Structures are given as structure tokens and as C-alpha cells.
Structure 1
């Protein structure tokens, strides 16, 4: 029996004139969103907030839509990623050095439209982006 690993992360949105932008992160050639594995006895939402803070330096995150979430289909040996929706109204993104790695976890970040995010992120993110877009009331 295979143990399913759940990671937790955030779809981080920022309002701009007339549209929302979504924060995506690049590690090597792969684009992703802030996420990681919960620590022992850590709830998924707490893990999502902590991982986002650790990976982006953003600490003023608002859960405007509550604790609703969506999960990806299983990928990479059965892993499932759970995403919550947060707003980062301001603040500079940084890519801090990970104490475990001795370097930042990611090489680049971008604030992109939902359409750009769909082009850059793996297809497993499509339902997550569609949900985030509908929750935010963004035009499709």
C-alpha cells in the first residue's frame, strides 16, 4: 500500500487595475506555486501559510475567501497538493535562502495573469486556477 503525501500551498493573488495577478515560482525549469509538506502535527492551512512565507517572504496574506481549498489530481508517485486562496495586497516578494538547502528554493518569481499562469504551470494546476479565478470573480 502506497502512502499518499499531501503538500499544502497557496494561490497568492494580488489586485491590480482591472485584474488579479497570480504569484508563480520557478525552480530550474519547473513553475509552481508556494507549497510544501506539513510538519509533524501541523494543519494543512498553517503549513500553506508557513511555506508561502518561507518561500516568498510575504507575511501579510489575507484569506478573503476563508478556508476553502482545492486539491490537484495525484502526481509524482501519488503526491497531492492542496491549495488555499490568499490575497497579498502589498509587500515585496523575496526568495530567501533555505536553511536546509543553503540557497533559495526557487530561482525566479513572476506576477502573472491567470492565462499566463495556465501557460507556464503544469496541467495539474488547471482546475486549481479555474477555481481561483471563479472565486476571485476574475473574467475568464
Structure 2
């Protein structure tokens, strides 16, 4: 189809054709949450091995920060303010998965009431715990551990980080 910006119907049909044929990315949106002692919240999913950051996958046409907030409500019953972007990581195709964009946002420091009332709210999580950054890096899968480390550096004042497969991009 040839674009015709002078005809709104033809132009919208042209854009719709492009939208239907262009690649779509999966989007993961996680949140770094801390307690007053500076420890980081990790969650243990029931559907995959190991520990993870709170958050999850965005739904169709859902903004990453809204996906992160929704996942916190669904899985932890937590209404948190999603603050600044810390990390964007382009994750290459692996196993059966196509590539994806993985975001990490700052969720701030939870007060004592929020910390003591935290618990898994659905079947997707079996446990949660607060751990020091050095301990978290050992509990998270390798790529996520590198992403988490970049988020910790961003929190310390380094600004948002762009990664490719968990590695700092040139």
C-alpha cells in the first residue's frame, strides 16, 4: 500500500498495515523496593526456579511503569509509588523466547507497616524476603543479577542504565 497522508482513511489503513506487520516486543517491568535498613525485597516465584525482583510482564498496550504497579498490587497487595527509571535491558532471544525489553524502576523505601504486612497475595509467589545487595546478587539468576547491580548503581546516583543482555552497552 502506498501512503497517502492527504486521505485520513488511506493514511490510517497504511499505518494499520505497518502496525500489523512490525515486530512486537515483550516487556518485563520490575521494581526495586527497600526497607529502612537498606535491604532489597526479593520474591520467590512458583512458576520458575530461583528468586526474582517484584514485578512481571506487561499486558498488551500497558506502559511498563503501570505494569510494575499492577504486578505489585496483584502479587503483594502493595500500592507503591513507582519512581524513576533505573534500568532498561534489551534481552536477546533465548530458548523458546523472542527478545524483550526489561525495565527496572525505583519503588522507594517501604515504611515499617508496609514491610511487616507484606506477603504473597496470589499463587505466583511462594516467599519473599529482604536481603542485602551482595546477597541478592547471589540469589538472582545471572542476567537478572547484572541488571539488579546496574539498578543499585543507578540508585546511588549513576543515573539510568541501558544494558544489552545484562551488560553495559557501549
> TM-score, normalization: structure 2?
0.63
1:60 positional shift: 3.4
1:124 positional shift: 0.7
Give ranges in structure 1 of 5+ residues lacking alignment: 98-103
The structure that is helix-richer by fraction is: 2
Identify the residue that residue 96 of structure 1 maps to in structure 2: 121
Structure 1 contact 13–23 (Cα < 8 Å) conserved:
yes
Alpha-carbon distance change, 62 to 36 in structure 1, aligned in 2, over 3 angstroms = closer
1:62 positional shift: 5.3
* 2:145 corresponds to which of 122, 126, 136: 126
1:27 positional shift: 2.0
Which of the two has higher C-alpha Rg?
Answer: 2
Give ranges in structure 2 of 5+ residues lacking alignment: 1-21, 158-170
1:15 is the counterpart of 2:39: no
Q: CA RMSD in A?
A: 2.5
Give the match's secondary structure for 1:126.
helix
How many corresponding residue pairs? 127
Structure 1 runs, 4 residues or longer, greater than 4 Å off: none
